[in-house]
């Protein structure tokens, strides 16, 4: 069973842990990581979560395990869910925030990388399939209620971050 480190409101490690699925104690937080992978055509790698998860579309991500940094966690999640090896030099931390309602610190990573979907080794317990989609297609999945709500909020956050930097991701 996976363990997760607990943090205080200032993102300091407390030395406490919980098991995956346990309720996060009052005044404690866990770390959640999310990645947005874009190819040179401007398309984003979107995964359809397995039916046992909820069957929604989403980006690749998950929770940091005990002892993992945020960067290590996103590299682990990409490897576990997609079978894709990435180096931390390929990833850019574009946003780090805190959500008090859900008691999480969340880090959003961005990576531009070209590869063939057929070369991926999907973790079937987590991922049904993946596809390259335009931002317009992602927005349509969100509008249709088919995209995981928490991830859809981060899609718009990512768009705003890049827009504020004068970077066109569409």
Domain ranges of the chain: 3-164
Average pLDDT over residues 58-73: 97
How far is the C-alpha of 90 from the C-alpha of 109, rounded, in Å? Answer: 10
Q: Mention the CATH class of domain 3-164.
A: alpha beta
Spatial CB neighbours of 12, under 8 Å, sequence gap ≥ 6:
none
How far is the C-alpha of 126 from the C-alpha of 115, rounded, in Å? Answer: 20
Residue 107 structure tokens: 């880090």
- pLDDT > 90? residue 121: yes
- pLDDT > 70? residue 167: no
- pLDDT > 90? residue 153: no
Burial of 141 (0-12, 13-18, 19+ CB in 10 A): buried
Do the Cβ atoms of 36 and 59 come closer than 8 Å?
A: yes
pLDDT, residue 170, reads 63
């Amino acid at each position: 069973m996976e363990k997760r480190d607990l943090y205080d409101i200032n993102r300091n490690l407390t030395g406490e842990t919980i098991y995956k699925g346990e309720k996060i104690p009052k005044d404690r937080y866990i770390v959640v990581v999310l990645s947005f992978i874009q190819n040179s055509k401007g398309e984003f790698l979107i995964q359809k979560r397995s039916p046992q998860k909820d069957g929604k579309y989403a980006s690749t991500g998950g929770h940091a395990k005990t002892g993992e940094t945020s960067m290590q966690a996103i590299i682990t999640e990409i490897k576990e869910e997609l079978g894709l090896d990435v180096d931390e030099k390929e990833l850019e931390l574009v946003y780090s925030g805190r959500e008090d309602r859900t008691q999480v610190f969340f880090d959003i990573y961005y990576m531009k990388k070209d590869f063939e979907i057929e070369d991926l080794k999907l973790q079937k317990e987590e991922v049904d399939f993946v596809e390259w989609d335009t931002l317009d297609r992602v927005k349509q999945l969100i509008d249709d209620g088919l995209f995981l709500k928490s991830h859809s909020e981060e899609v718009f956050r990512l768009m705003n971050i890049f827009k504020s930097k004068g970077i066109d991701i569409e």
